[in-house]
Amino acid sequence: MKMGDRIRQMRIDAGMTQEELAEKLGLQKSAIAKYENGRVENIKRSTIQKMAELFDRTPSYVMGFTDTSDYNSDNSSAPIVRIPVLGYVAAGIPIEEIEDVVDWEEIPKDWLRGGKKYFALRIRGDSMEPRMYDGDVVIVEKQDDAETGEYVIAAINGDHATCKRLMKYNDSIALLSLNSKYDPMIFTNEEVMEKPITILGVVREIRGKMKGM
């Protein structure tokens, strides 16, 4: 379930109107409408935490990453862990060995179930606007493959990584910017192997200032 759908369902289950929920969160009613319609996905962490406490849920449940909803609001917060925000990521270097840590972010501990690993990366430039802005931080699940349409961290020619939308075709892949002034990067299956093109992880969350609110 997408985050907007989950927020709407929790609100309805609690018998609240959008206006009532907005008041409890210290927001405008229009903000709740945008959340539920999926028009704003990079919701502030503090707002997600408030929703989790208000509805007795975990932050990861609010964001749609898990169907496990148990959360006792008598506990001050759900268990969390810190992950590094990296200044860059290079292909072939284990995340654990990268020393260019520029900051730290917190994620729910239950995201690590099943041996999953995460790192964070600071976005540079404007190629992913209007979804991701310069200075935003993306939370990335470390994995070496991704589904078509997902936002990935990819390394080209073993160089520092770039954040792009991945599209897969029968004989090629494309790494797409969201900003129309940047051309798509298209590689044949042979080029993927030869350069190589390496998937380092899939973006699971965008953390940054809300734009236009």
Check: CB of residue 142 under 8 Å from CB of residue 117: yes
**In this structure, is residue 68 part of a structural domain?**
no
DSSP-based three-state secondary structure for 45? helix
- Say how many C-beta atoms besides its own lie within 10 A of residue 97's C-beta: 6
Closest CA to 132 of 210, 23, 72, 45: 210
Name the active-site residue from 34, 60, 142, 164: 164
* Residue 168 confidence (pLDDT): 96
User: What CATH number is associated with residue 16?
Assistant: 1.10.260.40
Supply the range of the domain harboring residue 13. Answer: 3-62
**75 in a structural domain:** no
Q: What is the pLDDT of residue 67?
A: 66
Per-residue pLDDT in tens (0 to 9) along the chain, 213 residues: 688 889 999 999 889 999 999 999 999 999 999 999 988 767 887 888 889 888 888 777 887 766 665 444 334 445 788 888 887 776 666 666 566 788 888 898 888 888 889 999 988 889 999 888 888 899 999 999 999 999 999 988 877 788 999 999 999 999 999 999 999 999 999 999 999 999 999 999 988 754 444
Q: Do 104 and 24 sit in the same domain of this protein?
A: no
Within a domain: 120: yes
List the catalytic residue out of 29, 44, 69, 127.
127
Spell out the residues 6+ positions from residue 11 whose beta carbon is closer than 8 angstroms to its own. Answer: 17, 18, 21, 32, 36
Residue 128 lies in a domain: yes
47 shares a domain with 128 = no
Q: What pLDDT is stored for residue 142 in this prediction?
A: 92
**What residues contact residue 190 under an 8 Å CB cut-off, 6+ apart?**
none
| Whether residue 127 lies in the annotated active site | yes
Is 172 among the catalytic positions? no
Query: Are 179 and 118 in the same domain?
Result: yes
Please indicate, yes or no, whether residues 192 and 96 belong to a single structural domain of this protein. yes
- Residue 212 within a domain: no
55/138 same-domain check: no
Strands 151-156 and 161-168: antiparallel
Cis peptide before 130 (omega within 30 of 0): yes
C-alpha R_g of the chain: 18
pLDDT of the residue at 86: 86
Q: What is the pLDDT of residue 178?
A: 93
The whole-angstrom separation of Cα 116 and Cα 88 is 20
Domain count for the chain, please give it: 2
Q: Is residue 69 part of a domain?
A: no
pLDDT for 17 equals: 94
User: Residue 183: what residue type?
Assistant: D
CATH of the domain at 102: 2.10.109.10
DSSP state of 144: S
Q: Are residues 104 and 169 in the same domain?
A: yes
pLDDT value, residue 209: 56
